[in-house]
Amino acid sequence: MQETNVLIIGAGPSGSIVASYLNQQGFNVTSVEKMKFPRFVIGESLLPTYMDLLDEANLLDAVKAANFQEKFEAKFINGDKTCDFNFEEQYTPGWTWTWQVPREDFYKILAKTVASRGVDVQFETTVEAVNFIDDHVVTSVTSASGSAQIKSRFIIDSSGYGRVLPRLLDLDAPSDFPSRSAFFTHFCDTQRPNNIDGNRIQVVVLKQDVWVWIIPFSNGNTSFGVVGDLSFLDETKTNEENLRNLIESNEFLKERIGTVEFTFDPKMISGYSTSVKRFFGDKFVLTGNSTEFLDPVFSSGVTLALESGLLAAKLVARQLNGARVDWDQKLVAYIKRGVDTFRLYVSGWYHGKLQTIFFADEIHPEIKKEFVQF
Ligand code: FAD
């Protein structure tokens, strides 16, 4: 049976930051990832707080070298009203820029970097079962070469929507958000404006609870998706027809996107908001989306995945080095504070209050600054 200090489920952003940190601390780390990379993932807009987290885990230079589209601001559009948030006008001093990333490239860079430093990353390997036995954990995995067991001192679940430990240990809890959907594609951005709007993320309000993202990449493609209550889509039409009709129905989208070529048939994800009863237990902890995911509207997912991953990794290192860890105080309370802040923003957005502030004729600069604190 293979033995390792720490087994990590999933090589997404959360699993990669955990792996990088624990490897730097001298632990023997194994990461098992169900998929083969590169592979498509949606959600390409990052937040500046993310930069410090990557830096601390010694991953920032590897991502910098990829020359992703730099992101300095975000623009919100509602009819003829607009609202720009520039990361330089922020409440808490810190990084004033980040990136817009095709996620398949981003995942590959993170996983490749941690593997090059000695983390044993096993792709196309799926966790099937976990047994907690005395002072260790035995995890059963399957891959093309058959079934195997891995013995570890600790297991970290960074499996995102795979929700491996929530499923196996009955930790799943319903989200307090209604089930919303996202419908999206990438397009070949042949009519990208030759000005600041050509490169920045734009969020376009279609109805109070339906909005669109436009996220340009440095590779010439752009991500485009619509989110919210999408029951208005016509089931008798193809995905492509539905998305093209949506573009045609809005003057701004018609002009910005027109009839460009989609790089893949539009996809739909529904009911992505999740929650969990517990974040940790004896010899295990959950990080990133395997705990809670709210909504894409403020691009918080990857940042929370990194923040919870790095913090959990630090606490695991302490515990494995013999210290007593107060997981409730040091992990759960801290992460819940961050998630609850975003929760307030997300509900304020869908209830319309935040949109009233964003699209007011004038926003007090100090209030506006408080929205730019991530
Ligand atoms: P993941 O990225 O899901 O990684 C988990 C990994 O675990 C995967 O690689 C998976 O293959 C692997 N895995 C799963 N099951 C198993 C198993 N049994 N065994 C082994 N491996 C397994 N966030 C942003 O920051 N910005 C955005 O613009 C954004 N937009 C979004 C748009 C939509 C429509 C949605 C639904 C989400 C969006 N998000 C966005 C959220 C973001 O994608 C997630 O929060 C983020 O990917 C979470 O990272 P993670 O590492 O926790 O999980």
pLDDT attached to residue 92: 82
Average pLDDT over residues 208-213: 96
pLDDT attached to residue 105: 96
Query: Does a structural domain hold residue 199?
Result: no
Query: Does a structural domain hold residue 298?
Result: yes
Domain membership of residue 7 as a residue range: 2-57+102-175+274-350
Query: Does a structural domain hold residue 292?
Result: yes
pLDDT attached to residue 373: 63
pLDDT at 200 over 70: yes
Band (36; pLDDT cuts 50, 70, 90): very high
Share of the chain above pLDDT 70, in %: 99
Q: Record the pTM.
A: 0.95
Q: How many domains are there within the chain?
A: 1
Ligand 1: which atom is nearest the Cα of residue 182?
Answer: 34
pLDDT attached to residue 374: 60
Cα 10 to ligand 1 centroid, rounded to whole Å: 9
Report the CATH number that the domain containing residue 329 is assigned in CATH: 3.50.50.60
Atom 38, ligand 1: which residue's CA is nearest?
43
CA distance 336 to 87: 24
Query: Does a structural domain hold residue 251?
Result: no
Atom 6, ligand 1: which residue's CA is nearest?
10
Q: What share of the chain is helix, strand, coil (3-state, %, to 5)?
A: 35, 30, 35
pLDDT attached to residue 308: 97
Query: Does a structural domain hold residue 89?
Result: no
Mutate to test the pocket of ligand 1, among 181, 223, 268, 302 (most ligand atoms within 8 A of CB): 302
Query: Does a structural domain hold residue 243?
Result: no
* Residue 94 identity: G
Lowest mean pLDDT among 88-97, 194-203, 236-245: 88-97
pLDDT attached to residue 355: 94
CB-based contact 181:270 (threshold 8 Å): yes
| Token duo for residue 206 | 């279609």
Residue 115 has φ and ψ, to the nearest 5°, of: -65, -40
Cα 161 to ligand 1 centroid, rounded to whole Å: 6
Query: Does a structural domain hold residue 337?
Result: yes
CB-based contact 102:221 (threshold 8 Å): yes
pLDDT at 296 over 70: yes
Cα 38 to ligand 1 centroid, rounded to whole Å: 14
pLDDT at 176 over 90: no
Residues flanking ligand 1, CB < 6 Å: 9-15, 32-35, 41-46, 126-127, 158-162, 164, 182, 269, 272, 288-289, 293, 296, 299, 301-303, 305
Give the model confidence (pLDDT) of 301-333 as tens digits.
999 999 999 999 999 999 999 999 999 999 999
Query: Does a structural domain hold residue 249?
Result: no
pLDDT attached to residue 6: 98
Mutate to test the pocket of ligand 1, among 20, 21, 39, 42 (most ligand atoms within 8 A of CB): 42
Average pLDDT over residues 33-48: 95
Mutate to test the pocket of ligand 1, among 20, 21, 33 (most ligand atoms within 8 A of CB): 33
